Chains A and B, each alone.
Chain A
Amino acid sequence: MAEIRLAGRPPSPPRRHLLAVSDLGREDVERILGTAATLARSLDREVKKLPALRGRLVVNLFYESSTRTLSSFDLAAKRLSADTMSLRSSGSSVDKGESLKDTALTLAAYDPDVIVIRHPCIGAPQVVAGATAAHVVNAGDGKHQHPTQALLDLYTMREALGRLEGLHVAIVGDVLHSRVARSLVEALALVGARTTLVAPPTLLPRGIEALGCATTTDIREIAHADVVYVLRMQHERMLPGAAFVPSLREYTALWGITPDRVRAGQVVMHPGPMNRGVEIDPRVADSGAALVSEQVRAGLVVRMAVLYDLLTSGPVEIVRALEVA
């Protein structure tokens, strides 16, 4: 019943957010990845700071510990000369039972340009977007979305393989609990790549094919892929009682990425941190096929590009910003 679908997006001209991959069109992805590539070149210089966002305030509001993502966003903002402020769940009002909406309202008093939020609950970025005038970037909400991860993964794939359109990516592991998988499936569909999800049947969400991907429980299917994208196996899912799979040992035997399962010419990616010997064999993780540190480097430039894209009017100004530097 389309006629009674609730209005989810603000009326135009909308204040732009990056809450989910579905906020992006294909041309947005192209533009952001292009900006990221330009920025990557600028970072090769001796002085790595650009003046593009001087005087802007980026607040990192992190309700989940994630040193990796927080430092990536923080450095991305600093490289663009923005001021940054980070609130973590420890030692802030976040722990004192204050509601997310109240915290957002408090932050709004500082007039931030961008709020980057990581939260264990799906829908938290929507609450912040509704309570403040800032552009909001979702840095991970529960099992829902982590759009900058998806963009940095696209960037990494394009750098390594030279294209995105027509690529075949196999995403292996705990899809059910993975915001990385959900974001990446949507992003790959957007750029014309093909995705196959490979997982134990208990960790494949019912109905996921509607996102435009294939599913299988057979690990041998990864042989057909250009990219093997390994998801982090969360140990607590394997505990007796959680009962998603009978044991970690059996999971590793059936779905672990071992050297014999990786074909020559394939690249292997992982959002980190890796459980070596669980979802990925150390011999694969340390091989030339693994692009894990490339992903971390891509994270910085892609997040710079996202902040830049939200706060400026697009690719024309980037040239000027770089010239000024």
Chain B
Amino acid sequence: MTLFCRGGARDTLRIEGARVLDPAGGVDGAFDVAIEHGRITRLEPAAEAARGLVLAPAFVDPHVHLRTPGREDEETVASGTAAAAAGGYCAILAMPNTDPVVDCASVLGALIEAARAEAVVPTGFVAAISRGLRGDQLTEMAELAALGAAGFSDDGKPVVSAGLMRRALQYSAVAGRPLALHEEEPTLSRDGQMHEGAVSAELGLAGWPSVAESTMIERDCALAAYEQRSLHIMHVSARESVAAVRAAQARGVAVTAEATPHHLCLTDDAVRTLDTNVKMNPPLRSEDDRQALLDGLRDGTIACVATDHAPHARHEKDVPFEEAPFGVIGLETAFSALYTFLVEPGVLPLELVLERMSAGPAQAFGLPLPRIAEGEVANVVLLDLEARWTVSEEETRSRSVNSWLLGRTLRGAVVKTVADGRVVFAA
């Protein structure tokens, strides 16, 4: 498949004495690495690795909102991909719920041109499953795929009609690109502002029950099994959902799933503050759900970490909780958040996090795996695990600052990102 990015000469650089850690490729040790004209040309054992420096395959984010066309005040291809570069990503996929929706060749073509002109990291565009995300008529999936659509999704909305979902699965055989689903049974989640549970009962906020997600996942896995097609489930949030994906995988359904850093690190307890930067869809759930996500990540039921980077203008988040839009940004903080809250405290091993941020999502979407091996195009990230940094509005590269991490000090930082052989970020 094709990703789109600004061209230019590829870089040459040497990285000496870092711990090279490529979990999918089975590499872990101190190496001197030479990158010449964008390719890894030498990988030589070094005597000793510099403290805290890790060179890993760069990250792949299958779920990003670039807000263009339509809301360039919130994000653009240039600002969103700069944020991705700063977060250590070598490839991202942008969602189609823009204004206008990415549901026809002209909108997709314009985005691809924009990416060729301004994308800092290789960017793929996911096109809509249904026209206008209205859920009643398929887009011209084959034509969109031929033009370069990376996949299909009505993200932001579920495909409510089981009939249309079935036809989309059937037609994905022609398009040859995966379907990525936002799972939400709308008559159950209607008006939901946060996870339904003790905290929503206390706050009086309308609940978005976890079964609204899992019943829809179960429906779509049943359809995928019947049609013998594959599925990708976006931003899984609940225990029942992990169980539904695991059960479908066990009976042979080709289903992959992703979880976001905020669902992995936070619970609905954070909503007690009524801070609109913890309002997301699907909502932050209970500690029990969070533990189930961590288990799913450990056993591979959830193969991908995705940020669901969702920029919103400040004035749209500076309103009462109930009026605020759903979503938080996350590209620049994903690794450090997971490192700070999960790896350092010993909840998840570093290798697992690196694998789920890189090889996992690349595999799920049929992208070439970022690898650290001689002869490969360089898609690498250099991490300083001993660094500490504080998330601030001023240093955010995204055009929006709706982060749940503002003002927090994180451990572990991205020092350098090389994407498609070019240095796209250097701290």
Contacts and interface: CB of A to CB of B under 8 A. Distances in A.
Interface of A: 1, 4-8, 99-101, 119, 121-124, 126-127, 141-145, 177-179, 182, 186, 205-211
A143 B205 contact: yes
Interface residues of B, number: 37
B265 A4 contact: yes
B341 A4 contact: yes
16 contacts: A1-B265, A1-B341, A5-B270, A8-B273, A100-B320, A122-B320, A123-B276, A142-B322, A144-B203, A206-B200, A206-B209, A207-B198, A207-B199, A208-B198, A208-B202, A211-B202
Nearest to A185: B202
Contacts of A207: 196-202
A-B complex: 6 closest residue pairs judged by Cβ atoms: A123-B321, A143-B204, A210-B198, A8-B273, A207-B198, A121-B320
B14 interface: no
A123 B44 CA distance: 57
B358 to A, nearest CB: 24
B201 A123 contact: no
B229 to A, nearest CB: 35
B162 interface: no
B320 A123 contact: yes
A100 B324 CA distance: 12
Nearest to B342: A1
Nearest to B268: A207
Contacts of A141: 320
B272 interface: yes
Contacts of A122: 193, 203-205, 274, 320-322
B315 interface: yes
A26 B212 CA distance: 39
Contact of B319 (A101, A145, A177): A101
Nearest to A175: B201
A99 B318 CA distance: 9
Contact of B323 (A121, A143, A145, A208): A121
A211 B200 CA distance: 11
B225 to A, nearest CB: 31
A136 to B, nearest CB: 13
Interface of B: 193, 196-207, 209, 265-267, 269-270, 272-276, 278, 287, 315, 318-324, 341, 404, 408
B316 to A, nearest CB: 9
A6 B323 CA distance: 20
Nearest to B273: A8
A187 to B, nearest CB: 13
A132 B196 CA distance: 32
Nearest to B193: A122
B236 to A, nearest CB: 19
Contacts of B203: 122, 144, 182
Nearest to B277: A6
Nearest to B272: A8
Most chain A beta-carbon neighbours within 10 Å: one of B193, B202, B270, B275: B202
A314 B247 CA distance: 61
Nearest to A145: B204
A179 B201 CA distance: 11
B269 A182 contact: no
A101 B323 CA distance: 12
Contacts of A4: 265-266, 270, 341, 408
Nearest to B275: A6
Nearest to B340: A4
B304 to A, nearest CB: 22
Nearest to A144: B204
A205 B320 contact: no
Contacts of A144: 203-205
Contacts of A6: 270, 273, 275, 278, 404
A210 B203 CA distance: 12
B322 A121 contact: yes
Contacts of B267: 1
A205 B270 CA distance: 19
Given A4-B265, A127-B319, A211 B201 contact: yes
B404 A123 contact: no
Contacts of B276: 123
Contacts of B272: 8
B292 to A, nearest CB: 15
B279 to A, nearest CB: 9
A1 B197 CA distance: 17
A135 B275 CA distance: 19
